[in-house]
C-alpha cells in the first residue's frame, strides 16, 4: 500500500497587480501540478459591480471549494493564486471586519509557504483592480498578517524571470531539494 504525501500549499500573495496570476501558472507547470485561480477576481468580474461585505462569505466558500477540488489531483504541491489570508486582510480593510468562520478557516489553512509579490512592478487598471494608490498599504497589511501568524514567506521582486527563479528556489528549499 502506498501512502499519499500531504499536499504542500504554496500561495502567491500581495497587493493588486503584483504578478500573482502571471506567476501561478508557470510555477505550477514547473512542478507538474495544479494551480487555483483567485476566486474573488472571478466573482468580481461576474458580479459586474462593487463588492460589499455580503460578498466575503460566498467568495470564501468558493475559494475553499476550488482549493479542495484542485488538491485532489495535485502532485505534492498545490499553487494558489491567493488564499483566505488575503480575503481576511481585504475584508477587514474595506469592510471593517471579516466573518469569524472565514478567519478561523484561514488560520487552519495557513499555507506552508507564501510568496509575497512585491509592488516594484507597474500597476495597471483592468476594470477589476481599483486601488492602485493603496498598494503600499495593502502590501503592509498582508505582510503584517503573515508575520502575526508566523507564516513562512519569501518576498519576490524584480522582473518576471527573477520572481519565477526566486519562487522556484523558495519552493525547492521548502521541499529540501
Q: Tens digits of per-residue pLDDT, 114-146?
A: 999 999 987 666 555 456 567 899 999 999 999
Alpha-carbon gap, residue 132 to 125, rounded angstroms: 8
Q: What pLDDT score was predicted for residue 1?
A: 43
What's the pLDDT tens digit per position in 57-110? 999 999 999 999 999 999 899 999 999 999 999 999 999 999 999 999 999 999
pTM: 0.91
What percent of the chain has pLDDT above 70?
A: 91
Average pLDDT over residues 33-43: 91
Task: Please state which of the four CATH numbers 3.90.580.10, 3.60.15.10, 2.40.110.10, 3.40.50.300 is assigned to the domain occupying 8-175.
Answer: 3.40.50.300
Per DSSP, the three-state class of 155 is strand
Q: What pLDDT score was predicted for residue 162?
A: 97
Q: How many CB atoms lie within 10 A of CB 59?
A: 23
Q: What pLDDT score was predicted for residue 101?
A: 98
Q: Which three cell numbers stand for residue 93?
A: 480593510
Per DSSP, the three-state class of 132 is helix
CB 24 within 8 A of CB 12: yes
Look at residue 10 and tell me whether its pLDDT is greater than 60. Answer: yes
First and final C-alpha spacing in the chain: 26
Look at residue 3 and tell me whether its pLDDT is greater than 60. Answer: no
- Structural domain boundaries in the chain: 8-175
Q: How many CB atoms lie within 10 A of CB 6?
A: 9
Amino acid at each position: 500500500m502506498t501512502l499519499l504525501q500531504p499536499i504542500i500549499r504554496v500561495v502567491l500573495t500581495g497587493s493588486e497587480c503584483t504578478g500573482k496570476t502571471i506567476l501561478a501558472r508557470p510555477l505550477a507547470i514547473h512542478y507538474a501540478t495544479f494551480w487555483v485561480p483567485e476566486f474573488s477576481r472571478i466573482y468580481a468580474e461576474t458580479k459586474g459591480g462593487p463588492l460589499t461585505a455580503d460578498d466575503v462569505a460566498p467568495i470564501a466558500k468558493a475559494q475553499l471549494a476550488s482549493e479542495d477540488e484542485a488538491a485532489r489531483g495535485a502532485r505534492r504541491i498545490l499553487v494558489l493564486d491567493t488564499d483566505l489570508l488575503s480575503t481576511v486582510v481585504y475584508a477587514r480593510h474595506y469592510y471593517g471586519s471579516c466573518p469569524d468562520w472565514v478567519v478561523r478557516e484561514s488560520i487552519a489553512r495557513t499555507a506552508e509557504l507564501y510568496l509575497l509579490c512585491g509592488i516594484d512592478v507597474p500597476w495597471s487598471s483592468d476594470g477589476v483592480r481599483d486601488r492602485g494608490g493603496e498598494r503600499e498599504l495593502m502590501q503592509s497589511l498582508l505582510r503584517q498578517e503573515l508575520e502575526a501568524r508566523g507564516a513562512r514567506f519569501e518576498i519576490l521582486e524584480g522582473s518576471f524571470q527573477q520572481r519565477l527563479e526566486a519562487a522556484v528556489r523558495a519552493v525547492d528549499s521548502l521541499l529540501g531539494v
